[in-house]
Amino acid sequence: MTHFRDLTLYSYGVAESSQAGACNIGWLSADVAFPMASSEPQFVDRLWRYCKVSVGQTRGLHECEICRSREANVARRNADELLLGSAEIRVISGQGQLYAAPNLIYHYVVSHNYSPPPEFVLAVLEGPCPPEEGYYHLLTKMGIDWSNTLVPERGSKSFRFVKTPEGVVKVDQSGDSSKPSR
């Protein structure tokens, strides 16, 4: 995955002008050290809610470069499961600052103790958060397309990632160990 330093200007993926002022968050790479600390449960809870809303859905699936585990793409919280690694999230602070992060950020925080910048943590804690209506209103106002984050198929113990003709990532139980492609 492409690496961007935290809080640099977002320029990846969708190039909508309304997102010109967005800040990069959580574009981690195995080669670059990142700040680590354990995160507050309330922050992780809300981050999970943001991860349910995908922006910039891509066809391929990024693996976590830090652990290189395919299991990293299937995230679980309470009774929920999400397929992470093929889309981004948007967080909007109370002051209207937009942040763009890969949705693998949830895995980075939970499994690798990634500690995002305090201003992002504050935005997650205090900004409009899905499923609040105000969050979707802001996305619409900013011209940002979103979709519901993909969910792994129920009960799949071994899985792989395939591209359908429509370009949607699906998970099946074939047990094929081929690596996901972009």
The stretch among 12-20, 66-74, 131-139, 153-161 that binds Zn ion (CB under 5 A) is 66-74
For position 1 contacting Zn ion by CB under 5 A, the verdict is: no
* Residue whose structure tokens are 């949830």: 106
Q: Judged by CB under 5 A, how many residues of this single chain contact Zn ion?
A: 4
Please give the Cα distance from 51 to 142 (Å, whole number). Answer: 18
For position 64 contacting Zn ion by CB under 5 A, the verdict is: yes
- Whole-number minimum distance, CB 75 to Zn ion, in Å? 11
Closer to Zn ion by Cβ: residue 14 or 67: 67
- Whole-number minimum distance, CB 8 to Zn ion, in Å? 22
For position 74 contacting Zn ion by CB under 5 A, the verdict is: no
Among 72, 101, 105, 139, binds Zn ion (CB under 5 A): 72
- Sign of the Cα torsion 28, 31, 32, 33 reads positive
Helix (H, G, I), strand (E, B) or coil at 48: helix
Nearest CA-CA partner of 21 in 117, 132, 104, 95 = 95
* 150: region left, alpha or beta (phi > 0 left; psi from -120 to 50 alpha): beta
For position 7 contacting Zn ion by CB under 5 A, the verdict is: no
Closer to Zn ion by Cβ: residue 84 or 129: 84
Cβ atoms of residues 75 and 89 within 8 Å:
no
Please give the Cα distance from 48 to 78 (Å, whole number). Answer: 10
Among 7, 67, 122, 125, binds Zn ion (CB under 5 A): 67
Strands 74-77 and 160-163, bridge-based pairing: unpaired
- Whole-number minimum distance, CB 37 to Zn ion, in Å? 17
The stretch among 59-67, 82-90, 118-126, 171-179 that binds Zn ion (CB under 5 A) is 59-67
- Whole-number minimum distance, CB 84 to Zn ion, in Å? 10
Cβ atoms of residues 112 and 66 within 8 Å:
yes
For position 44 contacting Zn ion by CB under 5 A, the verdict is: no
Binding site for Zn ion (CB under 5 A): 64, 66-67, 72
